[in-house]
Amino acid sequence: MKNLYSSDLTKSTYDAIIIGSGVGGLTTAVFLTKAGKKVLVLEKHYVPGGFTHTFKRKKFEWDVGVHYVGQVNLKNNLMRKAFDYITDGKLKWADMGEVYDQAIIEGTTYNFRKGRENQIKQMIEYFPDEEKAIRKYYTLVKKIGSSYTTFFSERTMPFWLSNTVGYFMRRKFYKYSQLTTSEILHSLTSNEKLIAVLCSQCGNYGLAPEKSSFAIHGMIVEHFIEGGNYPVGGASSIHKKLIDVIETNKGIVAIKADVKNIIIENNKAIGVEMENGDKLFASTIVSNAGAHNTFNRLISKCKQKDENNINLNKIQPSVSHVCIYVGLNASDEELKLPKHNIWLFDNYKFDEAQKYHLNTKNSASPITYISFPSAKDPNWQIKHPGTSTIQVLGSFPYEWMQEWEEGKWQKRGEEYESKKEAIKNVLLEKLLETLPHLKDRIEICELSTPLSTKHFSNYSKGEIYGLEHTPARFNLLQLRAKTNYKNLFLTGQDIVCVGVGAAMFSGIITSVAILKRNILWKVIRYRVVD
């Protein structure tokens, strides 16, 4: 197996060891290897890439976490330039079209159109008496987009500098992050249907309006406002192109490399110990394993009574989910499958519905997300002619599956399989209610649960979005690249926010903190040679 971990790797020392091969870790590795550093990336599982990996069943293939990315269709946008730089211009993107998200609430359809003014006009068409509130809302969203760069740039700083000037870099963002989405929207309008429609992309960060920080809501809306895009060749193209660049620059990515803990001596990170007892050493250690995993599991000497750790553990893991992966025996064109995503809601009362769901064991998710990865990828029919794929997701608390967590993957017993079958049928019914003509074209339908996510992502509660995006999350000053341990750094979505784009930028933030120099000028000046 290519890139399989070997104890021979202990014979070398490294400039940096990176734990986890998600986009944050791989982006950090790209910048460090391009700076001439000797880098080793350690990935626990047999596939690299974190939530950018894909899996296959028979002639079908599905992504597990990358459903669309914003801003990369704009060639001069920093997001696009950064992806071009870290992949040496090899990663290509496909536009999802004029409509990228569609919300269906109580049977009424609302389209999210590409382009700020197009979207504003569309919303005014739906709610002609609410033009003033709609325009104010999109003005606030744009302001968040202009404030978060400074906020997250502050996270490259060491604590002493942050304590001096950090507040001034954070305060503009705090105007939005410390209020909930519900509070902001109710200050603009009393129209509950309008509020629900404007919140219908909340599944992208997994919190209902009453709990979510308006900052994360605004960042998500702003991220996609110029349209959605999908990586040509599927989600795995992202990590494959990144790994190519790392290896070209003499870095190493090792799979089935399970890190037991980070070796700390005299408050300084000096290496890692593997589950098999191997020890590897480096002058810099980077954790892309998530903040909870890093401080609660990988650092065995990290004291629970430490004030920073207590505050961190007050922030709950984000929502976990169930998903069916559907394979169909006809092409997207034949089945008339859309490129846009569909968000289904039973009613307009999102907060009330979510509270009931979370407090009623085994209840159905009040939000259902339907994605069409094969329709989004222009290369799909080349590789998989005459077929198509769909994913249907819903929230599902980890605790409802916890009794089977000690079982082995795909070997958890008949009772577990029976429960999976019941959940699968609920999600499949949602799909067929929306697209009934697909009923006789389904060739394969498989369900994943929060236990599957835990198995592959190593998050303790099977969460997909890291830490919950509440107002309290954005107050945590330790969610930054530099930790209190010398030479230990964090990267990944926990130090920025949810999403592949945010994870990529976390890698830039961490690289700036490690290299102690501005590397963005290289990104900004990078040009793809066609």
For residue range 307-319, list pLDDT tens digits in order: 667 889 899 999 8
323 in Cβ contact with 392 (< 8 Å): yes
Q: DSSP class of residue 12? A: S
Of 490, 451, 446, 486, residue with least CA distance to 467: 490
Of 38, 36, 42, 18, residue with least CA distance to 28: 18
pLDDT at 462: 84
Task: Extract the tokens encoding 74.
Answer: 């704009």
What is the distance between the alpha carbons of residues 340 and 312, in angstroms, rounded to a whole number? 36
What is the distance between the alpha carbons of residues 84 and 102, in angstroms, rounded to a whole number? 29
Work out the pLDDT band at 301, boundaries 50, 70, 90: low
Of 455, 469, 319, 464, residue with least CA distance to 398: 319
What is the distance between the alpha carbons of residues 445 and 439, in angstroms, rounded to a whole number? 12
| Strand bridging mode 367-371 / 341-345 | antiparallel
Q: pLDDT (tens digit, 9 = 90+) per residue, 247-269?
A: 999 999 999 999 999 999 999 99
Domains for the chain: give ranges and CATH numbers: 7-52+64-91+232-315+476-525 (3.50.50.60)
pLDDT at 146: 82
467 in Cβ contact with 496 (< 8 Å): no
78 in Cβ contact with 152 (< 8 Å): no
Q: pLDDT (tens digit, 9 = 90+) per residue, 509-525?
A: 999 999 999 898 999 99
Q: pTM value?
A: 0.95
pLDDT at 145: 83
Strand partners, 215: none
Of 383, 388, 350, residue with least CA distance to 372: 388
What is the distance between the alpha carbons of residues 437 and 105, in angstroms, rounded to a whole number? 21
pLDDT at 47: 87
Provide mean pLDDT across the span 83-110. 97
Question: Burial code of 263-273, b = ≥16 C-beta within 10 A, e = fewer?
Answer: bbeeeebbbbb
Q: pLDDT (tens digit, 9 = 90+) per residue, 474-500?
A: 999 889 999 999 999 999 999 999 999
Work out the pLDDT band at 405, boundaries 50, 70, 90: confident
What is the distance between the alpha carbons of residues 49 and 258, in angstroms, rounded to a whole number? 15
Residue 300 confidence (pLDDT) above 80: no
Task: Extract the tokens encoding 386.
Answer: 């005459």
Task: Extract the tokens encoding 183.
Answer: 């509070």
Q: Would you tell me the crossing angle of helices 181-188 and 131-153 to the nearest 10 degrees?
A: 150
Strand partners, 448: 323
322 in Cβ contact with 449 (< 8 Å): yes
Strand partners, 231: 93
More confident residue, 108 or 296: 108
What is the distance between the alpha carbons of residues 51 and 500, in angstroms, rounded to a whole number? 8
Provide mean pLDDT across the span 437-462. 89
Q: pLDDT (tens digit, 9 = 90+) per residue, 113-159?
A: 999 999 999 999 999 999 999 999 999 999 998 888 899 989 888 88
**What backbone torsions phi and psi does residue 243 show, to the nearest 5 degrees?**
-65, -35
Give the mean pLDDT of the chain: 93
Strand partners, 442: 328
**What backbone torsions phi and psi does residue 327 show, to the nearest 5 degrees?**
-115, 130
Helix (H, G, I), strand (E, B) or coil at 447: strand
Provide mean pLDDT across the span 25-35. 98
Work out the pLDDT band at 304, boundaries 50, 70, 90: very low
Q: Could you write out the DSSP letters of every residue in 185-212?
A: HHHH---HHHHHHHTTTGGGTT--TTTS
pLDDT at 452: 86
Q: pLDDT (tens digit, 9 = 90+) per residue, 229-240?
A: 999 999 999 999
The shares of helix, strand and coil residues in the chain, as percent rounded to the nearest 5, are 45, 20, 35
Let me know how long the chain is.
530
